[in-house]
Amino acid sequence: MRDLITLHEDRLFPVEPAAREVARRLYNEIKDRPIISPHGHTNPSWFADNENFPNPAELLIIPDHYVFRMLYSQGIPLEALGIPHAGGPSDEAVKPDPREIWRLFARHFYLFRGTPSSMWLNWVFREVFGLEQRLSEETADTYYDRIDQLVQTDEFKPRALMDRFNIEVIATTEDPLDPLDHHAKLKSEGWGHRVLTAYRPDNVVDPEYENFSQNLDRLGEMSGFDTRQYDGYLNALAERRVHFKNHGATSSDHGHPTAFTADLSHTEAKDLFARVRHGKATPEDAELFRGHMLTEMARMSVADGLVMQIHPGSYRNHNGLILSKFGRDKGADIPTATDYVRALKPLLNKYGNNPAFSLIIFTLDETSYSRELAPLAGHYPCLKLGPAWWFHDSPEGMRRFREQVTETAGFYNTVGFNDDTRAFLSIPARHDVARRCDCAFLARLVVEHRLDEDEALQVATDLTYNLVKQAYKL
Amino acid sequence: MRDLITLHEDRLFPVEPAAREVARRLYNEIKDRPIISPHGHTNPSWFADNENFPNPAELLIIPDHYVFRMLYSQGIPLEALGIPHAGGPSDEAVKPDPREIWRLFARHFYLFRGTPSSMWLNWVFREVFGLEQRLSEETADTYYDRIDQLVQTDEFKPRALMDRFNIEVIATTEDPLDPLDHHAKLKSEGWGHRVLTAYRPDNVVDPEYENFSQNLDRLGEMSGFDTRQYDGYLNALAERRVHFKNHGATSSDHGHPTAFTADLSHTEAKDLFARVRHGKATPEDAELFRGHMLTEMARMSVADGLVMQIHPGSYRNHNGLILSKFGRDKGADIPTATDYVRALKPLLNKYGNNPAFSLIIFTLDETSYSRELAPLAGHYPCLKLGPAWWFHDSPEGMRRFREQVTETAGFYNTVGFNDDTRAFLSIPARHDVARRCDCAFLARLVVEHRLDEDEALQVATDLTYNLVKQAYKL
Amino acid sequence: MRDLITLHEDRLFPVEPAAREVARRLYNEIKDRPIISPHGHTNPSWFADNENFPNPAELLIIPDHYVFRMLYSQGIPLEALGIPHAGGPSDEAVKPDPREIWRLFARHFYLFRGTPSSMWLNWVFREVFGLEQRLSEETADTYYDRIDQLVQTDEFKPRALMDRFNIEVIATTEDPLDPLDHHAKLKSEGWGHRVLTAYRPDNVVDPEYENFSQNLDRLGEMSGFDTRQYDGYLNALAERRVHFKNHGATSSDHGHPTAFTADLSHTEAKDLFARVRHGKATPEDAELFRGHMLTEMARMSVADGLVMQIHPGSYRNHNGLILSKFGRDKGADIPTATDYVRALKPLLNKYGNNPAFSLIIFTLDETSYSRELAPLAGHYPCLKLGPAWWFHDSPEGMRRFREQVTETAGFYNTVGFNDDTRAFLSIPARHDVARRCDCAFLARLVVEHRLDEDEALQVATDLTYNLVKQAYKL
């Protein structure tokens, strides 16, 4: 009994019986809605090629920085978890056996107590793979064998899981230099409406990005515009946006260190471009250029209708040693205090009242919810708030988001849930957590007589499905 | 049933039965206490002239930026809501019919789900106007007709509502250039003790205020002091404070962009005044002058006994287009991160330990509650904390205020509730929300055995009535 | 009945019956665990000399800045509370009678409603002194007489209370200039394993500390190294660390104004030392030196194994008048916004991945919990998070800590509770509050089906006992 995975039907609902009843009723009405996943990082080749996933370690541990960062924080070397060194071929001599990685993970699974990772993973273990005992040192091999066997079957191929998971549509994220071959294949095979791309130009608008200058050369080749000149560069970016639109994109995504925007004159922008074009930007130049390019992207958004998303506030690759040994995205990105009010003013001044413009803002700095973002979203017609993001994509994080945003911005200036993940198997669990948390929040409003239950049900449906489709033009 | 306005007798109380019982008992003891409204923005002419209010749109929508900002955020043009353009006579040709404005509002009333505006408005609809069906597109005309008819009756004149609402005393806010004619009339008609003024000198202490220079000329004429000189300027401000005191003022109010204070020498201050006097202040000069004038206002407060209120941290008129078309106060003021610890030090260094000085601080940056404001208020004898303000004058906002302030500053370094509103009809609803939220918070302390119920009752009474009167010297 | 102290057996537990049941069960399993107090400010002479404590005012009011700051904030002069003036002998003529101080405190005890001080004090009154009536003006003398009588008995001597309180080990805090005579005596009398020291070098690494230059002279004399030179200074600090280790220290503690760290070259550091050595540091020099010395302390920590604690973010002695009249530590330290991400990078870059390094970070800026500290602790192997600290060592503060930290850092990157107090009699009450709050938080996770009860029990045990001993190497 005590060694079974608990996946209680009332999990995440308020414990008080009257509130729990309301939460249950709301949840039952929306739990079977299809999943709309408008923002995420799954690999489009999975859906295009529809091949089987690899072994349990390569499926569930090695690609998931939520998982290996926690293990690393308790002294487990990344090498022991099979995280490959950056650059150069991986050294097979030191690469650990996947089963050994899995055992190491199993032994330390208690570290995830109280974290959303444990909820997501337990859902995957039980609902996807039918495992009933908790993961532990004792059950590690049973887990490994079962998962390893199942992922080799047809039922566990990506497209089959798309159906099983009831995913109506999923967006991946590509940069403008991506040829979008996988999406072309998906389109040709009738899957284009279910797997979309999204346009993420960080590597060609951020002068501090690795190989920025070469990236712009390549952008020129791909688009047919002369990216040695500012005007050609802008044309190239716009051309790629249209190319992405043709492969299903309805949104762009911008992962800048800050929310800073600028609105330079054409002459100033040309001069700045000339300075940054060849990788010789000062940090101030780089920040100014990124800020100006956000405003340029807003301009293009007005023209081509792609919804703009800004995800600021992460200090990327904080751990120098890890960056040099293992490369980017190894769980060492740390949020920082982020201003939106002054930062977004140039962009909002120019396009904030334009009915053709849609902007979705995310934050890693929860202090901005009630202080800055809800007041901004409760005023500017272009602006909607993205859901609780990254570290805050969790029951407590979602609760804080709703508690701090709703009273000023309402529900209708938010856009439903994003899973924002590359952990494909956990997508239903993540959406389920969001649905449960929204129902729990709404149930509290109902039992405190702040909202009637029929209204709460309408809101739950909108948050789960309607607002997502509207906000992302799906 | 499901289309009736829900105004449940237990609204905003905890749902757990034992806690709800305590909240009810506390609330029943304090709910009928008279309303003390020491800080707000009602129009004194209402009470002085006692004329009927206008039609529903002009009564409830056009003056309420909480309402029209939400509608604007969802793409409804301000023109369609009857918000007049700034400057020049309003163009009757484009001014929409008030009934059409009302219908537009009714159609979008669902946007306010989960916001305090919906609680306040539903209370006004049901308790003031006796409307029982929810507001919707279908009931819009019924609402319009009923409200339009009632507001023309004697029972709905301002003074009658003052009695009906059990408002013992209400303060309005005027600037030093206001002749206070309405308050003089009120005094002569025996209403001087119920409608007070408060002294808000932003337009004569902030060099960046519109027409600052002309305002100082006018201040000179009204006070009889030479405001071309710094000393005459200080005398003029002091003379106006006494004038306000004679019209009932017990407090001053200061709405600065930051909490920055400075304590310049007389010579430095004179030189700075000379620079800013004629509208040629740099932004740094302006900030320094505002900061110095807060300290000067504290000095005058020690002399004349007016309680000083500082309301910092709003980035005013963030939307340039809205400002240029519609003017100030159109729902585009956005809070910013605000420091108090360094900012207030010069002022507190000079007057913080002076028993004759009373300072009430408000914030729009909730992060300062537990970090800065509660620790400051729990030490400095002059300092009390104003209630959750503006965007945070809401159930969740009030809860955060008590949860984050009480453990360090206690209850007795707070000052009860301010409605801070120009929406006269909603004043009882706002005070009722505050009373309910305080009782809900206290009930939690009681059922968690952190406070005895008799103590909680004393605290509830103090927060509702006694502390307000003490803090504002009423 | 209503005048009895309420010390309900379920205090601080959730009110909902199912959750309360879980909290009770968890608490019953851990409530009798010995107290581990790895960080605090009790006076080692109490335990070394084992003399009786003084009268109630000198025992419970005069040394407790939580208590007298609240009284001062409501206009009670510190002189009336017996707080001695700084410097010079205390003037017996004005020193109030301890019984009068006690009466003044009793009359104002209502000010502490809702604060942790009232919980701690009520526990001391009832559990330590057997008082049953609430403290008030009426019972003030009864309290005084009872406490005054009991503290003169053998049962209330420090070592007897250590046993009665079930304190397994307690650490005091000394600076490197302390000869550690009391700890030497304790060691010689067989108490060395129960009363440890901790190394707090602020007065010899902060150039802005009073008498910094003389302190370094003295450091040189004590250590036998030439502290006029940078290398000798480093050797002296290291020598003292070893001396402290020999007196039981397992940790160092660093109370800097910010979390800023720096990593200067040896030449830069020598030059900077030469500038600051004789008290002529600019504020920038001082900050840079403090920051560099944190990194040096980390280096020494790797070498000698002392666990490093950083407590940043307090603006010390904010009230100039109080500082000049009464000296430091008089309740006028105010938290400020604190950055960790950029601030700690130099130190973490150098030692963050070193398995021999242990760093515990505390904060007074709760906004950093979810934004910075949990993400850092959930990645860096060296880093653990200290418990909710100082103003936040309270039920609401502890709840916020767990809610904002757990989902990203888990439980196992935290270190259990610190009482951090000089109020010896309240130590069991403080640990009891922490245990109850942890059980309440865990109970919520259990009833929301986010954690199984057997797992919660393991976590509760770890937070109460195991993690403390591990983190502090006890």
Task: Give the pLDDT band (50/70/90) at residue B289.
Answer: very high
Sign of the alpha-carbon dihedral angle for C365, C370, C371, C373? positive
Whether the predicted pLDDT of B31 surpasses 60: yes
Whether the predicted pLDDT of C92 surpasses 70: no
3-state secondary structure chain C: CCCECCCCCCCCCCCCHHHHHHHHHHHHHHCCCCEEECCCCCCHHHHHHCCCCCCHHHHHHCCCHHHHHHHHHCCCCHHHHCCCCCCCCCCCCCCCCHHHHHHHHHHCHHHHCCCHHHHHHHHHHHHHCCCCECCCCCCHHHHHHHHHHHCCCHHHCHHHHHHHCCEEEEECCECCCCCCHHHHHHHHCCCCCCEECCECCHHHHCCCCCCHHHHHHHHHHHHCCCCCCHHHHHHHHHHHHHHHHHCCCCEEEECCCCCCCCCCCHHHHHHHHHHHCCCCCCHHHHHHHHHHHHHHHHHHHHHHCCEEEECCCEECCCCHHHHHHHCCCCCCCEECCCCCCCCCHHHHHHHCCCCCCCEEECCCCCCHHHHHHHHHHCCCCCEEECCCCHHHCCHHHHHHHHHHHHHHHCCCCECCCCCCCCCHHHHHHHHHHHHHHHHHHHHHHHHCCCCCHHHHHHHHHHHHHHHHHHHCCC
Rounded to two decimals, the pTM is 0.97
Contacts of B412 in chain C (CB under 8 A): 74, 110-111
pLDDT reported for residue B193: 95
Q: What is the pLDDT of residues A377-386, one digit of tens each?
A: 999 999 999 9
pLDDT reported for residue B1: 45
**Three-point CA angle A348, A349, A354, nearest 5°:** 70
Q: How far is C263 from chain B (nearest CA, A)?
A: 28
Q: What subunits make at least 3 CB pairs under 8 angstroms with C?
A: A, B
Place of tokens 């998962």: A147
Nearest neighbour of B450 by CB, restricted to C119, C318, C364:
C119
Q: How far is A342 from chain B (nearest CA, A)?
A: 9
Instruction: Test B331 with A379 for CB contact under 8 angstroms.
Output: yes
Contacts of B451 in chain C (CB under 8 A): 113-114
Q: Which amino acid is at A247?
A: H
CA distance linking residue A24 with residue A9, whole number of Å? 9
Interface test with C, best of B412, B445, B457 (most C CBs within 10 A): B412
Per-residue tens of pLDDT for chain A, all 474 residues: 458 998 999 999 999 999 999 999 999 999 999 999 999 999 999 999 999 999 999 999 999 999 999 999 999 999 999 999 987 555 555 689 999 999 999 999 999 999 999 999 999 999 999 999 999 999 999 999 999 999 999 999 999 999 999 999 999 999 999 999 999 999 999 999 999 999 999 999 999 999 999 999 999 999 999 999 999 999 999 999 999 999 999 999 999 999 999 999 999 999 999 999 987 889 999 999 999 999 999 999 999 999 999 999 999 999 999 999 999 999 999 999 999 999 999 999 999 999 999 999 999 999 999 999 999 999 999 999 999 999 999 999 999 999 999 999 999 999 999 999 999 999 999 999 999 999 999 999 999 999 999 999 999 999 999 999 999 999
Q: Which amino acid is at C234?
A: L
Q: Which residues contact C298 (CB under 8 A, 6 or more apart)?
A: C308, C347, C350, C351, C357, C359
Contacts of C349 in chain A (CB under 8 A): 319-321
Whether the predicted pLDDT of C271 surpasses 80: yes
Question: What Cα–Cα distance (Å) separates residue C447 from each residue in A15, A16, A22, A67, A122?
Answer: 6, 10, 17, 25, 17
CB B385 within 8 A of CB B414: yes
Fold classification of A52-156 (topology level):
uronate isomerase, domain 2, chain A (1.10.2020)
pLDDT reported for residue C94: 67
Nearest neighbour of C371 by CB, restricted to A2, A318, A365:
A365
Question: Quick count: other Cβ atoms within 10 Å of Cβ C93?
Answer: 5
Q: Which of C357, C307, C296, C367 is nearest to C336 (CA)?
A: C367
Q: Which helix (H) or strand (E) holds A239?
A: helix A230-246
Question: What Cα–Cα distance (Å) separates residue A306 from each residue in A241, A251, B73, C357?
Answer: 8, 5, 19, 49
- Which residues partner with A252 through β-bridges? A199, A308
CB C398 within 8 A of CB C387: yes
Whether the predicted pLDDT of C1 surpasses 50: no
pLDDT reported for residue A1: 45
Q: Which helix (H) or strand (E) holds B335?
A: strand B334-335
Burial status of residue B2 (CB atoms within 10 A of its CB: 0-12, 13-18, 19 or more) = exposed
Contacts of C342 in chain A (CB under 8 A): 315, 336
CB B392 within 8 A of CB B364: yes
CA distance linking residue C197 with residue C200, whole number of Å? 9
Mean pLDDT for B256-274 is 97
CB A301 within 8 A of CB A308: yes
Strands A314-315 and A334-335: antiparallel
Q: What is the pLDDT of residues C372-384, one digit of tens each?
A: 999 999 999 999 9
Name the DSSP letter for residue B57.
I
Place of tokens 């996943």: A37
Q: What is the pLDDT of residues C333-357, one digit of tens each?
A: 999 999 999 999 999 999 999 999 9
Q: Which two tokens stand for residue C277?
A: 């050595």
Strands C251-254 and A314-315: unpaired
Task: Give the pLDDT band (50/70/90) at residue B88.
Answer: low
Contacts of C15 in chain B (CB under 8 A): 14, 16, 18-19, 444, 447-448
Q: Which of A378, A380, A310, A373 is nearest to A350 (CA)?
A: A380
CA distance linking residue C316 with residue C331, whole number of Å? 9
Q: Which of C294, C225, C297 is nearest to C256 (CA)?
A: C294
Nearest neighbour of A113 by CB, restricted to C447, C448, C455:
C455
Nearest neighbour of C407 by CB, restricted to A10, A74, A116:
A116
pLDDT reported for residue C2: 57
Q: Which amino acid is at C468?
A: V
CA distance linking residue B345 with residue C391, whole number of Å? 20
Query: Residue A59 in 3-state DSSP?
Result: helix
Burial status of residue B235 (CB atoms within 10 A of its CB: 0-12, 13-18, 19 or more) = middle
Question: Quick count: other Cβ atoms within 10 Å of Cβ A131?
Answer: 20
Place of tokens 């905890």: B14
Query: Residue B315 in 3-state DSSP?
Result: strand
Q: Any idea which of A297-301, B374-378, C93-97, C254-258 has the lowest mean pLDDT?
A: C93-97
Q: Which amino acid is at B89?
A: P
CA distance linking residue C145 with residue C440, whole number of Å? 37
CA distance linking residue B472 with residue B251, whole number of Å? 7
> Dihedral through CA C63, CA C67, CA C69, CA C72, nearest 10?
-110
CATH 3.30.465.10 is the classification of domain A17-48+165-471: no
Question: Quick count: other Cβ atoms within 10 Å of Cβ A313?
Answer: 26
| Among chain A residues, CA nearest to C407 | A115
Strands A35-37 and C334-335: unpaired
CATH 3.40.50.300 is the classification of domain B17-51+164-471: no
Q: Starting at the edge strand that comes first in sequence, how are the strands of the sheet with C167-171 ordered?
A: C35-37, C167-171, C195-196
Burial status of residue B335 (CB atoms within 10 A of its CB: 0-12, 13-18, 19 or more) = buried
Question: What Cα–Cα distance (Å) separates residue B125 from each residue in B142, B158, B162, C463?
Answer: 11, 17, 17, 52
What are the residue ranges spanned by the domains of chain C?
17-51+158-471, 52-156
Q: Which residues contact A93 (CB under 8 A, 6 or more apart)?
A: none
Fold classification of B53-156 (topology level):
uronate isomerase, domain 2, chain A (1.10.2020)
- DSSP conformation letters of B353-395: T-TT--EEE--S-TTHIIIIIHHHHTT-TTEEEPPS-GGG-SH
For the domain C17-51+158-471, what is the CATH code? Answer: 3.20.20.140
Question: Quick count: other Cβ atoms within 10 Å of Cβ A425?
Answer: 24
3-state secondary structure B161-202: HHHHCCEEEEECCECCCCCCHHHHHHHHCCCCCCEECCECCH
Expressed in angstroms, the distance from the first to the final Cα of chain B is 44
pLDDT reported for residue C276: 96
Q: How far is C301 from chain A (nearest CA, A)?
A: 17
Name the DSSP letter for residue B301.
H
Contacts of A348 in chain B (CB under 8 A): 318-319
Q: What is the pLDDT of residues B127-162, one digit of tens each?
A: 999 999 999 999 999 999 999 999 999 999 999 999
